[in-house]
Amino acid sequence: MNALLVGFLGAIVALAFAHGRVTPYDNYVLLAHQLLQGRLWIDPVWPGPEIDAVLFDGHRYIVNDPVPAILMLPLVAIVGVNANQTLLACLLCGVATGAAWALLERLGVTSRVAVWLVVFFLAGTDLLWCSMLGDVWFVAETSAVAFMLLALCELVGKRRGWLVALWCALALGSRFTLVMALPVVLWWLWHGFAERDLRPVPERLRTVLAFTGSLLPFFALWVAYNVARWHVPWDAGHTIFYHQDPFMGSLIGSPFGLENVPTELYSFFVAPPRLHPVFPYVEPLAFGTALWFTSPALLTALLAREPRRLVVSLWIATVLVAGPSLLYYANGGSQFGMRHALDFEPFLLALMGLATRSNLGVLWRFAQGLIVFSAAVGIYGCWYWNTFLRHGGV
């Protein structure tokens, strides 16, 4: 089985669960439509406050990072605001699934084991759930995962600096929290990823310069985009949204703070589903459901031991990328599971792959059981949302 086939199957699965859905939270379609008109605001097509577009300087602006809107441009140019954003999410789900397979294959994971891990990554995380819905927040997650996995594939392959930079830029432009991984990516380009880089220093320096040089235009565009919208070089959109959020926000202060960590930790690691004595018995709370229930197979990542330098660096990337979500005032709801975990789960997938290269013995049987449980819960979450919360294909 090759990565293209796996990616095709991943997209088909996502499309099957979406069953023709057209999301009402199609911010990226609206933004793409306005970009084609030469505008950054969406005033003429703003449907109402439910899509989280902020009012600033007399215009309504999309807060979310813009890469999915750029990917929507060709389709929007043809069909306008009737373009289907969920279709993009399902296609990106296919890219993520295929890239996951390619990453595991390049790390030396056997095909038999890779099947288990890719099934887990698709159904046992929020990837399938986010993709089948295609809402603005969720397609951003799928997009970030797809491009970060492509970056990891290149790092474990030819390590072309310009291509790693391109995939990273597209990931950051989908979920900017992944900017926290850049120092580790730079370290991988210099020292090597799966194996230590033994090339002469000038060759490694050229790779690093190609990476940094290729990222500079992205950051220049990023600064220009922020200045055009918020009149500052950084992305002030989430702070503005926090000040306008009537439910959890505040008129002053920052949406990021240490006071938010306890709630986030509870969401990620403690929050259980609600149990009922009648069908369907298990209710995934919109507030979020902890990873111990939705994705316990992630524990397999803890078994990774070698190569030690790669294992340690992957854990560092995981912690760094998780940092902004742990400090943020909102945990990502309404959601199944904890969708913000997708930001760092590509690194955990690599760790899971490294773990399975060792002789795990009975621990692998235990891991297989956790994978089956995780995938079953993920599919249940998709069914629950389709049946009780988003029935009718919306």
**DSSP string of 226-281?**
HHHHHSSSS--HHHHHHHH-TTT--SSS-SB-GGGHHHHHHHHHT-PPEE-SSTT-
- Decide if 167 contacts 57 (C-beta within 8 A): no
Nearest CA to 104 out of 189, 3, 193, 5 is that of 3
380-384 CB contacts, 8 Å cutoff, 24+ apart: 380/282, 381/129, 381/284, 381/294, 381/336, 381/337, 382/17, 382/128, 382/129, 382/132, 382/336, 384/280, 384/283, 384/284, 384/336
pLDDT computed for residue 392 by the predictor: 53
Predicted confidence at residue 293, as pLDDT, reads: 96
Q: Is residue 52 part of a domain?
A: yes
Q: What's the one-letter identity of residue 140?
A: A
Q: How far apart are CA 107 and CA 99, in angstroms?
A: 12
pLDDT at position 394 is 61
Q: Beta-carbon neighbour count of residue 377 at 10 Å?
A: 22
The three-state secondary structure class of 223 is: helix
Pairing of strands 53-56, 59-62: antiparallel
Tell me the pLDDT of the chain (394 aa) as tens digits. 799 999 999 999 999 999 999 999 999 999 999 999 999 999 988 888 888 899 999 999 999 999 999 999 999 999 999 999 999 999 999 999 999 999 999 999 999 999 999 999 999 999 999 999 999 999 999 999 999 999 999 999 999 999 999 999 999 999 999 999 999 999 999 999 988 988 999 999 999 999 999 999 999 999 999 999 999 999 999 999 999 988 888 999 999 999 999 999 999 999 999 999 999 999 988 788 999 999 999 999 999 999 999 999 999 999 999 999 999 999 987 899 999 999 999 999 999 999 999 888 899 999 999 999 999 999 999 999 999 988 655 6
Asked whether residue 394 is domain-assigned, the answer is no
Neighbouring-strand partners of residue 181: none
Please indicate, yes or no, if residue 291 is contained in any of the structural domains: yes
Round to whole Å and give the CA distance between 325 and 391.
30
Distance in angstroms (rounded) separating the CA atoms of residues 134 and 136: 6
99 domain-assigned: yes
Residues spanned by the domain of 369 = 3-389
The whole-model pTM stands at 0.96
Which two tokens mark 72?
Answer: 């929507």
Domain count within the chain: 1
pLDDT of residue 114: 97
Q: Return the pLDDT at 393.
A: 54
Domain presence at residue 66: yes
The pLDDT value recorded for residue 55 is: 94
